[in-house]
Chain A
Amino acid sequence: MSDFETVAATENHAATPGPAGEPGAPGQPDNTSKVRSLAGDAWHDLRRKPIFIISSLIILVMVVMAAFPTLFTSADPRSCELGRSMKGPSGDAIFGYNLQGCDVFARTVHGASTSIQVGLYSTILAGVLAVVIGMLAGFYGGILDAILARIIDIILGIPLLLAAIVALKGAGKGEGYWGPLLLIVFILGIFGWTTAARIVRSSVISAKQQDYVHAAKMLGASNSRIMVRHILPNAMAPVIVVLTIALGAFITAEATLSFLGVGLQDPIISWGKDISEAAKRVRDNAVPMLVPSTFLSLTVLSFIMLGDAVREAFDPRLR
């Protein structure tokens, strides 16, 4: 949407709407409205999108929960008494207790931090690897592309979970809270960047044949500038979508690994671990599984919706 139309719409004046023709033509009202930057325009659009508002609110709640879990619950997630195993919801614990007799809600609140951090960090690591390697392969082509594309193929051929299990077995457990967490992030990132890299590579190849890349070269731009300034912004859209989906997959992968006993172990609390433990007794009491699952789904879904909304808002062609 052009500034002109936006102004007309917000002020609710019906004056000269429609596609902006040649401006400054005699008789047309002078367009003196403040011009916005791309980010400003994007923000302007985003504020009006329910999907953006809902998903960012959910993410905000999750992030606050991860940072300050005690704001949401005063119960200690690690004080478990077998005596209240599988007890239903009550005034003390709104979602009841799990098999070990721990407060389900407290554990879920405290698990947010681990799950979100694993998801975010692995996505960032995978994203950086994918963009750098995909860009180099797509832009330079030739032998470099052949080598990098084969490396991508090889890693893509290894199942993520299998590779992670083997690597985590070999790498040991790591120390304290950060040791095992960063180890998982590292392994998920290393084995999880390939799909995104393929997409970066193919978008780069199609973007680099565009005339505007030739035009930039014609005006004396260096290769690095062409890559960062001209190709990357035009190749990012599909990557953002793939990465937001990958974020969900990484959180789930961490859950699976923890379940298999090679991921995070006690005393670290994570949604994945709780879901897998509760799943064994789901027919006796589904609540201990449903609560962390719901939080996990909401988080993953919010990230996907947010990624989609942001991608749309930052693409001037869709305006």
Chain B
Amino acid sequence: MSNHLLEVDNLHIEFRTRDGVAKVINGVSYHLDPGETLAVLGESGSGKSVTAQAIMGILDMPPGVITNGEIRYEGRNLLTMPEEERRRLRGKEIAMIFQDALSALNPVYSVGFQISETLRRNEGVAKDVAMKRAVELMDLVKIPAAKDRLKNYPHEFSGGMRQRVMIAMSLAQNPKVLIADEPTTALDVTVQAQIMDLLAELRRELDMGLILITHDLGVVADVADRIAVMYAGRIVEHADVHSIYAKPAHPYTQGLLDSIPRLDSKGHELSTIKGLPPNLLRPPSGCAFHPRCPMAQQVCQEKVPPSLNLGGGRTSACLFAEEILHG
């Protein structure tokens, strides 16, 4: 057994709905070390958030069912752990930031109360000490005039400030792993950049492992160390950030990179990936990407491509990975 900080190993998750069984996660594996940033990239419905929810233990079950696999934190399997023990890990060891900070903050409590709540409850810190710590945390996430804002309610903050409050709340107990589930999607572009800078800075200062879930390739390039690209519940490509931007090894990643607007492509039509993500109730045969893949061959409809190890920690789940990379 390896000694990564957090390890997702061959995770399988199904959603059992009235219309049938949707296999939303089909053998996802990734790992995270202290002080490193892993970006999990993928379209809506690719399973990136579901994996994160499974790590946090906040997956709605039912309809979700974890059918196979392990999630190990410091070598211990979270999925077989007693609920009470697991609850103690939440917030203290692993914390998460949600996409929409307004709905993730309780509207009836002041932000100071919410940031300090976990300290008072889980660590038995006295109220005034916890409030002081809340001010420190708000300073840490660069909320101006933190002291005066302590008693304000979530709706009295702007979008960017709310996301900072959410981050402060997650950091209250110094978690070793922070999962950010599309932390900037609900924000405008300039604020997005500020929040991403803040997350990168906090990760450095606090030496956390950061899992950044996003569908925005532009966001990832600056902050991530490694990238895992997900499609239809599988990781189709996994590599360090430089290799992936230099030379993708999967047609899907290639398509994603081609669809980024570029300064020098003015006047040209933006390249897109044709078609829609597959319906997971009726997934395509073989490689799930074959109906949309520009390189698809007959064999892609028949054979599920295994995850090929391309060396240097790089993997690609494409039958033609070698050809793409070297061709």
Contacts and interface: CB of A to CB of B under 8 A. Distances in A.
A211 B106 CA distance: 9
Chain B CB within 10 Å, residue with most, of A3, A23, A38: A23
Interface stretch (A154-162, A220-228, A251-259, A298-306): A220-228
Interface stretch (A29-37, A112-120, A166-174, A280-288): A29-37
A167 B91 CA distance: 52
B105 A234 contact: no
B98 A35 contact: no
Nearest to B122: A220
B155 interface: yes
B90 A220 contact: yes
B166 interface: yes
A116 to B, nearest CB: 30
Nearest to B110: A38
Nearest to B153: A316
A234 B106 contact: yes
Nearest to A20: B156
A14 interface: no
A18 interface: no
B170 A219 contact: yes
A229 B121 CA distance: 12
A24 B145 contact: yes
B144 interface: yes
Majority DSSP secondary structure for residues of A touching B: loop
Contact of B90 (A23, A35, A219, A233): A219
B169 A215 contact: yes
- Among A31, A216, A217, the one with the most B-chain Cβ atoms within 10 Å of its Cβ is A216
A3 to B, nearest CB: 8
Given A218-B90, A219-B90, A211 B100 contact: yes
A311 to B, nearest CB: 12
Interface residues of A, number: 35
B148 A233 contact: no
A216 B107 CA distance: 13
A177 interface: no
Contacts of A219: 90-91, 95, 117-118, 169-170, 172-173
B87 A211 contact: no
A48 interface: no
Interface string B250-262: 0000000000000
A217 B158 contact: no
A234 B103 CA distance: 12
Contact of B104 (A25, A214, A222, A315): A214
Given A24-B144, A211-B103, A234-B108, A36 B151 contact: yes
B90 A22 contact: no
A215 B149 CA distance: 21
A220 B94 CA distance: 10
B156 A218 contact: no
Contacts of B78: none
A22 B161 contact: yes
A20 B158 CA distance: 9
Contacts of A222: 87
B150 A35 contact: yes
B307 to A, nearest CB: 30
A286 to B, nearest CB: 48
Contacts of B145: 23-24, 31
11 contacts: A2-B156, A31-B145, A35-B151, A37-B151, A214-B98, A215-B105, A218-B170, A219-B117, A220-B88, A220-B118, A316-B155
Given A2-B152, A219-B170, A220-B122, 9 more contacts: A2-B156, A3-B152, A24-B144, A32-B148, A35-B148, A214-B58, A218-B95, A219-B90, A219-B91
